[in-house]
Chains A and B, each alone.
Chain A
Amino acid sequence: MEYELKLESEWLWIGLPVEIDHFQTEQIRQAAKEIMQKGYVKYVVFDFSKTNLMDSSGIGLIAGRYREMAVRGGQVYVSNVSDRMKKVLMISGLYRIVTPWEQVVVSESMNHK
């Protein structure tokens, strides 16, 4: 499995694959849905450390989780975003609504990897 999901209290950490396309997002979306039935998630962190390609399907995936978290007063973070990925997030306008994880002061209880 190229991607990885981890649930920790209200936090869902999603380690994204090398290439994020429609095929990959379908699987990640399904996996996220399943894991979110196991516990209440309020915050989602998308980790881009392995990723070097993302098409607009990835935008749909992030925007979808953003909508879900927004209605429950939560938030979506992006982590380890390369310049290339930043460009893609910028073009889509998503970069305005997600928070770069690195800007957040990480408390000990939210140690995700």
Chain B
Amino acid sequence: MDNTNEMLLEFDAMGENEGFARTVVAVFVSRLNPTIEELGDIKVAVSEAVTNAIIHGYENGAGKIRLIARLDGQKLTVQVEDHGTGIADVVQAMEPLFTTKPEQERSGMGFSFMEAFTDELKVESKEGEGTTVTMVKMMGVRDGQDN
């Protein structure tokens, strides 16, 4: 049997949906029996990407966020797309503590968190067109046999 599974979700760029988005991904991967640690990691990573789309991509305005999650065996790929302002300098944006919104008490650690809590992170962006963040994480690796 094919060991892949894919889901697509599109939702409004609103703070209320941050919890919704990360919960959807957590439920999607649940059949792999991920550890609590792995679930926590991916939820934080999704939260960061969605928050970025809301406050940077759409600058707290209206817009749609697309969330694609794909399972290939134990490998989870999550893609978060917005069609907002885009990032002029991705390398700079990914520097730890870099933030364009210190007045909103942004810590500048969003990408660092995504990097810390997943195995792979890719950010593609074009000014005026939007940003796509792709994260890869192996799930259910250590105690996939439990319960």
Contacts and interface: CB of A to CB of B under 8 A. Distances in A.
Interface of A: 19, 21-23, 25-26, 29, 52-57, 59-61, 63-64, 84, 88, 91-92
Given A53-B40, A55-B48, A55-B113, A23 B18 contact: yes
11 contacts: A22-B54, A23-B19, A53-B47, A55-B44, A55-B47, A55-B51, A56-B107, A56-B108, A57-B51, A61-B105, A91-B112
Chain B contact residues: helix, strand, loop or mixed: helix
Chain A contact residues: helix, strand, loop or mixed: helix
Interface in B108-135: 108-110, 112-113, 116
B10 to A, nearest CB: 19
Nearest to A88: B44
A36 B112 CA distance: 31
B146 interface: no
Nearest to A94: B107
Interface residues of B, number: 24
Interface string B41-57: 00110011001001100
Contacts, number: 64
A14 to B, nearest CB: 14
A22 B44 contact: no
Most buried by B among A19, A55, A61, A92: A55
Contacts of A29: 105
Contacts of B106: 56-57, 60
Interface in B15-46: 15-16, 18-19, 22, 37, 40, 43-44
A84 B19 contact: no
Contacts of A54: 44
